[in-house]
Structure 1
Amino acid sequence: MSLFQSMSVCADIIAAHDALEDAIAAVDWAAAETALGLDGYTVLSSLLTPEQCDEVSGYFFQDARFRSRIVMERYAFGRGEYKYFSYPLPDVVGRLRQSLYPYLAPIANRWHSAMRIDQRFPSTHAEFREICHRAGQQRPTPLLLRYQANDYCCLHQDLYGEHVFPFQAIFLLNAPGRDFTGGELLLTESNPKKPGRADVVPLRQGDAVILAVNHRPVRSARGFYRANLRHGVSRLYWGQRHTLGIIFHDAK
């Protein structure tokens, strides 16, 4: 590839990543907050282009980008594997983390107020990351997951220390039906005042789901109480499924 071609490719990548920030800014965040409050999740359609999905899923084989690899079956987490990115994060991953956070932080603060949780979140992710790091949570948590035939993920919560941001984002990087079958995102809610429920979240390639990390506020006659949420992935029947997880708090 010539120098001119390399410069052209870099310019295209930068333009695509700038467009990503514009797409996040264009989200109807009021509607997203309503959906989060009702269901504990909201889907943001087509945030990543197919080219960006291919770029990110291709990182899986670039070991230098990651700090650790987890084979899920060894820890009874399910079947499949995932890798935690190391700092510095790839540009698109870092931009997603930094660009989503300012829209979610005010919602997080309103949730904490409703649930009588003292912690409040600053306006930028850089400030929040510094809070995590001062508390010893210094390991980056964005991760890339790969599922193949018969792989699945047990229901869980992504909690890594004292400072927990109440939302995370999951991006589907492959096309259901074309690249894999099965492998649906599962969300369950345990409600202390009514029977629990489960949702299957339909996602297309490039979609993101914003979901509650551990609980959501539920209104009652006496204010709000907490409903507990977990998420997982159903068994993949064939093909390959990659997802990018954006967790905003770092780990100890």
Structure 2
Amino acid sequence: MIDTTLRTSSVGERIAAQDWDALTDELNEYGNALTGQLLTPAQCQEIAALYDESERFRATIDMARYRFGSGQYRYFTHELPDVVRELREAFYPLLLPVARGWAEMLGRPARWPDTLAEWLAMCHAAGQAKSAQILLRYGPGDWNALHRDVFGELLFPLQVVIGLDAPGADFTGGEFIMTEQRPRAQSRGSSTTLLQGHGLIFTTRDRPVASRRGWSTGPIRHGVSTVRSGRRRALGLVFHDAK
């Protein structure tokens, strides 16, 4: 049964209603954090169905061709569907304090302005003017190699992926996986089952890790494990544009 508040609230209100103190603690501890339900099943299916509307996308990537894994994804044009635009705009100001806090820990400039529009204008002025919002589609045997979504010099350190299908019902396998290089230690891995309509916030490139000398950089990569059966689709929200 769907919570009636999902039917009566906007996407922005659902994002704002998340426990941001707890999400921030998880991001600081692990570099990723799972939200509650943000989209109804009907909204998920509406977004997933956009995949077949070619005019909405600027490019289609066959992962096997580029040795990124197996499967396919498409980059939206800047004419984003309303719900995708609302998701992105609602997340940005709530992720901004985490981004700025991480920059301070690592001694990096926190150059992100208060609004997403200002930040994207900075990206475009630096030659990063292509939309980086993606719709991903995996079938049986598909997977995504470990990688980082760095599209130019300007980047936002956090991004979000939202599951559009129901694990166990629509597909099996296909866990979201992350590996973290730890200072003077072996890499640590994690996996997350992404529920339909829920979001996973995760680091784009790295995160601060406590060390004897203060804070060190912990590089992190992410990917998707092999889909065993069915079809797994997801929406990727990136907060910087691409070259």
After TM superposition, the score normalised by the length of structure 1 is 0.92
1:63 and 2:54 correspond: yes
CA contact (8 A) 1:112 1:120 kept: no
Aligned counterpart, 1:6: none
Match status 1:35 vs 2:26:
yes
For residues 72-91 of structure 1, what are the structure 2 equivalents within 5 Å? 72-91=63-82
Tell me whether 1:246 sits opposite 2:237 in the alignment.
Answer: yes
* Mapped partners of 2:9, 2:217: distance in 1: 37
Percent of aligned positions that are identical:
43
* 8 Å Cα contact 2:167-2:193 kept in structure 1: no
* Inter-partner Cα distance in structure 2 for 1:51 and 1:17: 14
Aligned-residue Cα RMSD (Å) equals: 1.3
Q: Which has the higher helix share?
A: 1
- The alpha carbon displacement at 1:17 in A equals 9.3
**Distance in 1, Cα, partners of 2:90 & 2:134:** 17
Q: Pick from 181, 190, 206: which aligns with 2:197?
A: 206
Using the TM superposition, give the Cα deviation of residue 27 of structure 1 relative to its aligned residue in structure 2, in angstroms.
1.0
Residue 147 (str. 1) matches residue 138 (str. 2): yes
The structural deviation recorded for 1:227 is 0.5
Contact 2:128–2:152 (8 Å) recurs in 1: yes
- SS of structure 2 residue aligned to 1:122: coil
Structure 2 CA distance for aligned equivalents of residues 130 and 69 of structure 1: 25
CA distance in 2, matches of 1:58, 1:35: 32
**Residues 120-167 of structure 1, C-alpha deviations (whole Å, 9 max, x = no match):** 211111111011011010001000000001000000000000101000
Aligned to 1:180: 171
Which stretches in structure 2 are left out of the alignment for 5+ residues?
A: 1-5
Match for residue 121 of structure 2 among 103, 125, 130: 130
- Structure 1 residue matching 2:64: 3-state secondary structure: helix
Structure 1 residue 223 displacement after superposition: 1.2
Runs of 4+ aligned structure 1 residues displaced above 2 Å come to: 15-18
Q: Per-residue deviation at 1:54?
A: 0.4
Q: CA deviation at 1:194?
A: 1.9
Task: Return closer, same or farther for 1:214/1:225 CA change in 2, 3 Å cut-off.
Answer: same
Deviations 1:167-204 (A, max 9, x none): 00000100011101111110110112222110011221
8 Å contact kept, 2:99–2:110: no
Q: C-alpha separation between the residues in 2 aligned to 1:119 and 1:160?
A: 18
2:130 partner SS: coil
Match of 1:156 in 2: 147
* Alpha-carbon distance, 1:111 to partner: 0.3
- Partner Cα distance (1:117, 1:203) in 2: 31
Is residue 2:224 matched to residue 1:224? no
| Counterpart residue number, 1:114 | 105
Residue 16 of structure 1: how far off its partner (Å): 6.0
Q: Provide the secondary structure at the position in 2 that maps to 1:155.
A: strand
Calculate the TM-score normalised by the size of structure 2.
0.95
- Between 173-182 and 186-195, the greater mean CA deviation after superposition: 186-195
2:37 alignment partner, SS class? coil
Measure how far apart 1:88 and its partner are: 1.2
AA paired with 2:120? R
CA contact (8 A) 2:76 2:133 kept: yes
